[in-house]
Amino acid sequence: MKKLRWAMDGGFWELDMSTATTLDGVARAVPDDPLPLGLSRGTRLSRPMQIDFFQRFMSMPFVPSSSISTHGFSLQRGFTFPFTENWFASLLGQFNFQKFVSSVKEGRLLQPSESSWLQGIGRRFSDKSLYALGLSSELLITPDDTLLVSLEAYGDKKVPRKKAVFLHKFPNHNLMVEAVWPGLFVDKFGTYWDVPLSMAIDLASVASDSGASYHLSVHHNTGTPKQFDGNQTHEVPATLLPGLCAKGAFALKKNIDLWRSKAQKLKMVQPFDIFLSNPHISFSGIIGAAGTACLGDNSVRVQVEDESHGFKGFKLHLPRVKSALVADIFASVAFTAQHGNFQRLFLDLTRFYARLDFPSGSKFLAGTTRLTQDLYNSQQPSLEAFQAICPTATLSLQQQIVGPFSFRIDSGVAVNLKNREWHIDVDEPVFAIEYALQVLGSAKAIAWYSPKHEEFMVELRFFEI
């Protein structure tokens, strides 16, 4: 899930969210003001290439995945066709194993016209609703330019999904041009949304451990968004409505090592993961600003903001021309502690990570001002002021089990003062078993489960902590 983040992005830019609901395995965060940006860039291996790696190098004939709300437990198999050194195509097939077993248990395996179990099994295997197919092609135009196109088709008559992506690497920047129809998004409540057509141009500076970084993006949505599951029980997020939107964000990051082990590592023993081989205690901080300019129906985002408590930020809304400007500041503070070099077979890696996010500086400053005024005037502080100054938190704990295997749990934590029984909300916990691929330096196979989304997935990740 999105909690399992890429190391080089430092946890600041909102990343694409892994999901088992589609063959592509990716959903983008619904943008908000100022965060999440909804730009979400990370060096990620495509789903067909992940499946191909599992089959070739880990002897997995099928890769499992599960999404209770959509297709249940399924098995995936991929085939790769290299045409030239710079061009290859992939075919990804998915078999809905849970639906097949359910049809057998319900007694529909054998019909009166069929004389044997083999005929019944053959009929069930020929059911198109059990299958989904994905065809993708990747062309390396130059060493710095890549073109990817993909098509997903589902036997249960879901809308086919199409995607075209162009990537270009500048010396210190990455450019992406993308068109997806329909585009899959997920909001902060965990609801998936389909946007009929989503197009984006994204320019991002190369991430670094410290220093300045920025994102610039222009994206356009067309059509009426709908819930992915077909139900229309939730209100459509305003940022997904049709319209043109330009976003920009600039941030400064600083890392400080409080302690870093200088003890000598085991000789002639390669760590299971080179990024997890240095015990340390460190802090990092980020402060930045983000701005959004909207033109179209998505400009109503300013109207739906909660301004009843003075948290107005920097906003300009022109309803006659359906346009709006929004700007705000944000900040983040993170703490990391690691014990062990991840070289020994047992108890050689314990890692804890905590991050506090202040996504809206205007709300924080307004809440602080009101809280100060209430205390100065000997009045009881309001719950809204307390809520405004409370950051959201992300916690992560990783513990080696044996050898390259480790257990990891990631979760968001937020203060909810409106809940009188329990003031702490646990947001999207994710449980994962990681298998470090030692020969690749820093790569891992991850099997994760999300109780909130009721999803399970096996993935391949590189350069991630």
Q: What is the pLDDT of residues 89-115, one digit of tens each?
A: 999 999 999 988 887 777 655 555 555
Strand runs labelled E in 118-242:
131-142, 145-154, 161-169, 173-181, 183-186, 192-195, 197-205, 211-222, 226-227
- Residue-level pLDDT at 123: 73
Rounded distance between C-alpha atoms, residue 215 and residue 207, angstroms: 10
- Residue-level pLDDT at 375: 85
Integer-rounded Cα Rg, in Å, for the chain is: 24
- The strand pairing partners of 144, in sequence order, are none
- Residue-level pLDDT at 35: 60
Q: What is the pLDDT of residues 282-307, one digit of tens each?
A: 999 999 998 889 999 988 765 555 44
Q: Give the distance from CA 435 to its chain's centroid.
A: 20
Cβ atoms < 10 Å from Cβ of 321: 9
| % of the chain surpassing 90 pLDDT | 43
Per-residue tokens: 208: 């670094």
- Residue-level pLDDT at 464: 66
Rounded distance between C-alpha atoms, residue 75 and residue 62, angstroms: 6
Residues 6 or more apart from 393 whose CB is under 8 A from it? 354, 355, 356, 357, 412, 413, 414
Encoded amino acid at 10, one letter: G
**Calculated CA dihedral for residues 449, 454, 457, 462, nearest 10 degrees:** -60
- Residue-level pLDDT at 194: 94
Intervals of the chain under pLDDT 70: 1-15, 33-44, 107-120, 301-313, 464-465
Rounded distance between C-alpha atoms, residue 145 and residue 168, angstroms: 5
Angle (CA) 354-356-358 rounded to 5° is 165
Cα–Cα distance list, 193 to 21, 225, 228, 238 (Å): 11, 6, 5, 12
- Residue-level pLDDT at 62: 94
pTM for the model stands at: 0.87
- Residue-level pLDDT at 402: 95
